[in-house]
Chains A and B, each alone.
Chain A
């Protein structure tokens, strides 16, 4: 158990080992450890953010879906309304058209009737004249009696 030069030799080699470890072993390993822990922290944070984003996106999607449903309903309702309106309009149009046609027909009929009456009346007056001529046996001055005949014809 002699204390001798070995002690100093040990101290020197110890110092060299510590220096080497401090210079070439410790820094890269500890740097890698720190980098990895940072990476893990970043990853966890990214995961958190992603899940938050997902939640947001889902909310957004639900909202959009609801909105579009509402819009679709609105559009359908409008379309229905419009269709009803068109139908109503068409009905009205048809009614007025029919009315007009009927009126026109009525007017024509009345005209025809009037015309026929007129013709009949003139023929009746002519007949009356002839009849009167025959009854009187004398010629009746057409010109002088035409006024009477006219009046007769009107009364007919």
Chain B
């Protein structure tokens, strides 16, 4: 347990605090110490730990896959190529099953989402104290290593997907078609246009929000339970943390898969005329 937080609630709070860099209300720049200071920084602050780990894992993913892709051949595959091909084939099949349009973006997008989110979720399985404690020893007060437990990370991705939904809706159906879809459904009469619009708008906006909150909620809850388990006496922790970690392997894979599948489904909906 981190040395300066001896109470349970302090320990939990400490673990749920991102390493935030931004401008303090008094005008100086620096790292926020505590949740209040971080909140005071407003929008123009950045979570260094989230950025570091998400970008690091993204680069790891691309480096690994790029290495395999460079050496890829149609002959008998081996080792890394096997794994990469398996992932690519899995994603490709998922895309082909639910997406019937033609797009060069959607399959690589799905692959990136799946592997990247999986890697970020995977950080949840590293014991909760290892890296934060090392960071504390190195003089960094806060460190959260699971980027997907930061709403900014999940919302950042889901908003990017949302932008793609809007982009493809407009590209395929045109501005007029997209507007029609928003205003003339489900009741195709001019009088109902406002009602339709509100209804469709809620449906549209619910997509990125639900995407982001689902992933964030699952991983946040998972992390919280790991933290709660870590409060137990050291000799009893394994009895709970091991089953939870094993169960969590399923959760992190499933959440990455769900994010990917929903992205494909949303984009495929954006490609289809009703």
Contact = CB atoms under 8 A, between A and B. Distances in A.
Interface residues of B, number: 51
B69 A6 contact: no
Interface stretch (B39-47, B193-201, B230-238): B39-47
Contact of A6 (B68, B74, B150, B159): B150
B160 A15 contact: yes
Contacts of B153: 6-7, 10
Nearest to B72: A32
B43 A3 contact: yes
B141 interface: no
Interface of A is mostly: helix
Nearest to A20: B62
Given A22-B109, A25-B69, A17 B50 contact: no
Contacts, number: 132
Interface stretch (A33-41, A103-111, A124-132): A33-41
A21 B112 contact: yes
Contacts of B109: 18, 21-22
Interface of B: 18, 20, 22, 38-39, 41-47, 50-51, 54-55, 58, 61-62, 65-66, 68-70, 72-75, 84-85, 88-89, 92, 104-105, 107-109, 111-112, 116, 147, 150-153, 155-157, 159-160
Interface of A: 1-11, 13-15, 17-18, 20-22, 24-26, 28-33, 35-36, 39
